[in-house]
Amino acid sequence: MDIPKSAKKRKLTDKSLPNAILHSPDFAQDSAMYQDLLAMERKLDWTIVRKKAEIQDALVRNPSTTRTLRIFISHTASGQSWQTSPDLNDPPNFDTGEGIPAWALRIEGRLLELPGQRAKDKGPVRKFSTFIKRMIVELDRDPTLYPDGNIVEWPRATGSQNPPLDGFTIRRKGDAPTKVRLVMYLEHYPEQFRVIPELGNILGIKEDSRIGIIQALWNYIKIQGLQDKADRRLVRADDKLRAIFNGDTIAFQKLPELVNRCLAAPDPIVLNYMVNPTIPAPERPMAWDVELKMEDAALKGRMAVMVQASKESMQNMATMDDEIAALAQSLHNSHLKRTFLQSFARDPAQFIQTWLESQSRDLETVLGTGVTDAPTIRQEELRRSEFFRLPWVEEAVAVQEGTRLASKVPTA
């Protein structure tokens, strides 16, 4: 038969050994080692698939980490009495601002690097304003002298007209010391909430994400055994949760709604600073460290690399699997050949007779049924003398006669 060129060679996948080899005493040790390797490979493949599924599930939730945001506050002064020469009595220029006492408040911040962090795990540097959701600066000044500009508010906005900033600068006129109160709402990921004291004292947490608070409540319910034994969809309240549930029981699916009623906006970061333009400003700015929840991009990248297998490693594993399957198939073929030759060596005449009978049965199967009482095609041919005058008959008779004589020759 002509095999079409487009037909592909069937890929061998069976790696098992013949039963005769597995139970043979000569190959018992090697066969046991090979079976242990196959079992270890199946266990390892199952573990890898399970771990990849867990990593993919974690990537969907976007892993988070706690980082340290360092906030710097400093100020500069200009036009102050200690900065001007006493010999100069020029009046101040109100058009250009020269000679008018003034000061500038600078608010900056940066994310601290993790100790021992690898260079390839470092992501792009984020601007300071991307960590802030809202900021309010309150200036404690005399309202009779400075009625306007004592409260500065910066709400975060997106768009090309609101680019991210490295810091904020507030400029004001004056030469009197001024107290500054900075109120800052940070941009956490995932979003953080403050838990009301009634529930927070029970769970032992003050601030956390919504998912974290629900998980903490569910852990408390499991530890205290508050889930109803008969109906698992109900949660029974103990003495501490009865005021939160407003009853003795609550449906399991209503726990997120219950938690939402117990959440409030997180407390802001409040920083106090003194601007004293009557003396030179400190050489170094004041710094505060605050904790910030944010997405763990480094961990997410490493997890993504683990899920996406290397193309080169996959090709190497496929090549080794093909080689193992080819060797196993070769072992199967060698076992069949060895069995064939051993059977022929024990009784050549009987082996040939059995083989001819097998071939005859196969031919009967191909040419006719051979099961019913009706004569088959081969039987019809055997009834005719022309069948025995075909060219192959003489060769078959010669082979059969030679085999018979060889079986009668005595061995030395």
User: Tokens standing for 45?
Assistant: 């493949």
Judged by phi (left if over 0) then psi (alpha if -120 to 50, else beta), residue 388 lies in alpha
pLDDT over 70 (residue 283): yes
pLDDT over 90 (residue 107): yes
Q: How confident is the model at residue 114 (pLDDT cuts 50, 70, 90)?
A: confident
**pLDDT for residue 97:** 58
CATH number of 205-264: 1.10.245.10
What is the edge-to-edge ordering of all strands in the sheet holding 263-264? Answer: 207-209, 192-195, 263-264
Name the pTM for this structure. 0.62
Phi, psi of 204 (to 5 degrees): 75, 30
**pLDDT for residue 412:** 42
More confident residue, 37 or 120: 37
Domain edges within the chain: 13-63, 65-84+99-112+125-188+266-295, 205-264, 347-406
Q: What percent of the chain has pLDDT over 90?
A: 38
pLDDT over 50 (residue 88): yes
Q: Which tens digit of pLDDT belongs to each residue from 226-273?
A: 999 888 899 999 999 999 998 899 999 999 999 999 999 999 999 999
Beta-strand pair 64-78/178-186: unpaired
Mean pLDDT of the chain: 82
Domain 65-84+99-112+125-188+266-295 has CATH 3.40.50.150: no
pLDDT over 50 (residue 123): yes
Tell me which residue of 106, 99, 45 sits closest to 72, measured CA to CA.
106
Q: How far apart are CA 144 and CA 123, in angstroms?
A: 49
Q: How confident is the model at residue 1 (pLDDT cuts 50, 70, 90)?
A: very low
Q: Which tens digit of pLDDT belongs to each residue from 319-338?
A: 888 888 888 888 888 888 88
Q: Which tens digit of pLDDT belongs to each residue from 346-368?
A: 888 888 888 888 877 777 776 65
